[in-house]
Structure 1
Amino acid sequence: MHFERMAAQYAGARPPYPSRLYDLLAEQGVIGPGTRVLEVGAGSGLATRELVRAGSEVVAIEPGRELARLLGREVPEASVLLTGLEDATLPDGGFSAAVAATSMHWVDLSIGLPRLHAALRPGGRLAVWRHLFGDDSVDTEFRRRVAHVVAQRPREPGAPRVEARPTMDELAAGGWFEPERTEHWRWSIDLDTDHVRRLFRTFSDWSEPEVDAVARAADELGGVVTEHYQSTLHLLTRSASPRD
Structure 2
Amino acid sequence: MRDGNHFESVAASYGSARPPYPSVLYDTLAQHGVIGAGRRILEIGAGSGEATKELVRRGSAVVAVEPGPGLAARLRRTCPESSVVVSRIEDVDLPARSFDSVVAATSMHWVDLPTMLPRLDRALGPSGLMAVWRTVYGDPRVWTPFRQAVREIVARRSPSDRPHDPLDPRPSVEELEAMGNFRLVRSWQWPWQIDLDAHELRALFATFSDWQDPGELDAVQAAAAAQPGSVTEHYVTVLHLLRSTTGDR
Task: Return the TM-score normalized by structure 2.
Answer: 0.94
Q: Which runs of 5+ in 2 are unaligned?
A: none
Number of the residue aligned with 2:106: 102
1:70-124 deviation digits (Å, cap 9, x = unpaired): 1011110100001111111111100000000000000010112112111111111
1:144-166 deviation digits (Å, cap 9, x = unpaired): 00000000001139963577101
Task: Work out the CA distance in 2 between the residues paired with 1:149 and 1:194.
Answer: 18
Q: Which runs of 5+ in 1 are unaligned?
A: none
Number of the residue aligned with 1:62: 66
Report runs of 4+ in structure 1 exceeding 4 Å deviation: none
Indicate which of 221, 233, 246 corresponds to 1:227: 233
Indicate the larger mover: 102-111 or 218-227: 218-227
3-state SS of 2:235 partner: strand
Once the two structures are TM-superposed, the CA of residue 178 in structure 1 deviates from its matched residue by: 1.1
Residue 86, structure 1, aligned to residue 90, structure 2: yes
3-state SS of 2:29 partner: helix
Indicate which of 12, 15, 35 corresponds to 2:19: 15
Indicate which of 161, 174, 182 corresponds to 1:177: 182
Q: How many residues align?
A: 243
Q: What amino acid maps onto 2:137 in structure 1?
A: F
3-state SS of 1:174 partner: coil
Once the two structures are TM-superposed, the CA of residue 222 in structure 1 deviates from its matched residue by: 2.3
Residue 27, structure 1, aligned to residue 49, structure 2: no
Asked if the contact 2:154–2:162 (Cα under 8 Å) also holds between the matched residues in 1, the reply is no
3-state SS of 1:189 partner: strand
Task: Return the TM-score normalized by structure 1.
Answer: 0.96
Number of the residue aligned with 2:208: 203
Asked if the contact 1:86–1:115 (Cα under 8 Å) also holds between the matched residues in 2, the reply is no
Residue 131, structure 1, aligned to residue 135, structure 2: yes
CA 1:66–1:161: 2 relative to 1, 3 Å: farther
Task: Work out the CA distance in 2 between the residues paired with 1:154 and 1:161.
Answer: 16
Indicate the larger mover: 139-148 or 151-160: 151-160
Q: What amino acid maps onto 2:204 in structure 1?
A: L
Task: Work out the CA distance in 1 between the residues paired with 2:225 and 2:115.
Answer: 44
Number of the residue aligned with 1:46: 50
Task: Work out the CA distance in 1 between the residues paired with 2:162 and 2:146.
Answer: 24
Indicate the larger mover: 216-225 or 181-190: 216-225
3-state SS of 2:179 partner: helix
User: What's the % identity of the aligned pairs?
Assistant: 53
